[in-house]
Amino acid sequence: MTTAANWSIEGKNHERNFKSIMFLGLLWLSLFVAFLFLIILLVTTAMNGMGRYDIRLFTDYNNTTPADAGARAAILGSLFVVTVTAFMAIPIGIAAAVYLEEFADRTKWYNKLIELNIQNLAAVPAILYGMLTLGILTLLGLKNKNVVIGGSLALALLILPVVILTTREALRAVPQEIRDGSLALGATEVQTVTKQTLPAAIPGIATGTILAVSRAIGEAAPLLLLGALVFITYDPNGLFAGFTTMPIQIFSWTSAAQDEFKQLAAATSMLLLVILLSMNGVAIFIRNKFAKRW
Amino acid sequence: MTSDSQGLSRSMHLGASTRGETVHPIMELRNLDVYYGSFHAVRDISLDVGANQITAFIGPSGCGKSTVLRCLNRTNDLVPSARVTGVIDYRGQDLYAATVDPIEVRRRVGMVFQKPNPFPKSIFDNVAYGPRVTGMKLDKSETADLVEHALSKAGLWSEVKDKLDQSGFALSGGQQQRLCIARAIATSPDILLMDEPCASLDPIATSLIEDLMLELVNDYTVVIVTHNMQQAARVSDRTAFFSARVDDAGQRYGHLVEMDQTSKIFTNPSDSRTEDYISGRFG
């Protein structure tokens, strides 16, 4: 009997062999390691804060007696500073992105230079923005540099490149056909941007902007440089009022001697985490719910 | 459907048709050249677009027919490196004269694109967009009337009248394209340009759009670019055949081979290249 070609398709499944399973196993292990440390961090912080998840965390000011101390000034400070930051960074960031994406002639050298710069600025360490702001405030002749407007300026400078980049990304995702259609109807370029391109890009812009602002909430370095590490026992009550924020309050309590302060720091950390996670959750929700698929 | 039978009879009697015999030009192109940077893309186009006629631009890919079409409402200006020389005379004015406002040109010369491009807005707002941005001062009921009028003209009213607040994206491809036509006629243009309007549509949607063109030409002047020669033969009064050529420097460019009454182009063209193209020997 002559053996013809073997047309059998039976055999050991190659996708289930040792090598494939090893590879998959390694991937799972890496994921597990990353996840494990996150869980440990979360659980220990949550446990450390046990006993201080009470209303006084929100209502009481800082105090030299740990039992009487709360994070009220830090919470309000964070909200105030970040709101002012958003008001500074978002309009400027969106406007800059609209110029770069919709109006700038990309072949010109100065526009290329600006592009390159913004990409780089997004990667600059946060502390440098603190130093820059310190310099600006000194030039302006401000004696007390730990003021809300100063902190907001530093954070706004910090997130501005991120806002610009994500806005550009969102604008770029709007199909050219939409612009063509608008212009062909006799709309001006400004009308096309304000009535078509920008509204169509809003979900993407909102997502990117919320993520940028949540980065600002968690940031401590540039504010430390402005001298935000102070004992504040009043609500921030103006743009030139002194302030503290949650990351800075956490930092200050963590380095305190008494264990009760460390407990307080952990509780505040959990609060900060909850705020950040909910902001990111909102961003993801907006992206999934409103983002258009063209 | 009257429009259907009209379209049919028009195409059946093509050979003996007198459509397109006389031309009252609304646009006269004289020695039009288009450059993209240093690339001389389209050379020396001279042709007339007849008022209340359908003019078809046909020819192989890269022959410059879409480029010429885009000159007619100055959308070529939006390509940063594009430059146009020559004259396009529109009702006694040169479209490319320095004193002309390109926005004003685009308000009078509407355009429908190859791929239906409704705005990410409601059907109503899609149609009302043109009148709003062109500064037509309309109150609510006038806007509603105009939207109904434009959608009716585009043969879409009966299909969408109960869902005007739904997104334009919710419509089928053919409906989207008719929405884009409605959007274009809502600003009451003088001329309607169509750049391969049926290229992404199925045959049924295509025939609806063709019927629509034959209706629209009663009120407007229509210029259509098409790859579909049957379509040009079915709907147009006059046909311009473009082709591509390579110059001495090796640059490929588009030029006009001939333009005539559609029935003549398709039965008895004066240039052998036209005959080769329409009989499918090249292109």
The pLDDT confidence band at residue B5, using thresholds 50, 70 and 90, is very low
**A207-243: per-residue pLDDT in tens?**
999 999 999 999 999 999 988 777 888 888 888 888 8
> How confident is the model over A36-64, as a mean pLDDT?
90
Mean pLDDT, chain A, as a whole number? 90
**A272-291: per-residue pLDDT in tens?**
999 999 999 999 898 888 87
> How confident is the model over B174-190, as a mean pLDDT?
94
Q: Is the pLDDT of residue A137 over 70?
A: yes
Q: Is the pLDDT of residue A18 over 50?
A: yes
Instruction: List, in sequence order, every residue forming a beta bridge with B240; answer none if it has no partner.
Output: B57, B259
What CATH number is attached to the domain comprising B258? 3.40.50.300
Q: Which residues of B touch A181 (CB under 8 A)?
A: 113, 117-119, 180, 183
Nearest beta carbon to residue B119 from set A178, A186, A188: A178
> How confident is the model over A245-269, as a mean pLDDT?
90
Residue B6, number of CB atoms within 10 A of its CB:
13
Tell me which residue range forms the domain holding B132.
Answer: 2-14+23-278
pLDDT at A66: 82
* Contact: B115, A182; criterion CB under 8 Å: no
pLDDT at A4: 64
Q: Is the pLDDT of residue B256 over 80?
A: yes
Q: Is the pLDDT of residue B108 over 90?
A: yes
B174 lies in some domain? yes
- Rounded percentage of chain A residues whose pLDDT exceeds 70: 98
Could you give the number of structural domains in chain B?
Answer: 1
Query: How many CA atoms, within 13 angstroms, populate the side-chain half-sphere of residue A109?
Result: 0
B36 lies in some domain? yes
Q: Is the pLDDT of residue B4 over 60?
A: no
- The pairing of strands B191-195 and B109-112 is parallel
pLDDT at B211: 93
B28 lies in some domain? yes
Q: Is the pLDDT of residue A84 over 80?
A: yes
Q: Which residues of B touch A186 (CB under 8 A)?
A: 103-104, 106-107, 130, 133-134, 187
Tell me which chain A residue has its CA closest to the CA of residue B104: A186
pLDDT at B12: 44
Tell me which chain A residue has its CA closest to the CA of residue B184: A185
B283 lies in some domain? no
Task: Note the ipTM here.
Answer: 0.87
**Measuring CA to CA, how many Å separate A30 from each of A23, A39, A43, A75?**
11, 14, 20, 36
Specify the pTM: 0.83
> How confident is the model over B91-115, as a mean pLDDT?
94
Three-state DSSP string of A195-231: HHHHHHHHHHHHHHHHHHHHHHHHCCHHHHHCCCCCC
pLDDT at A23: 92
- Taken in order of first residue, the domains within chain A and their CATH numbers are 56-290 (1.10.3720.10)
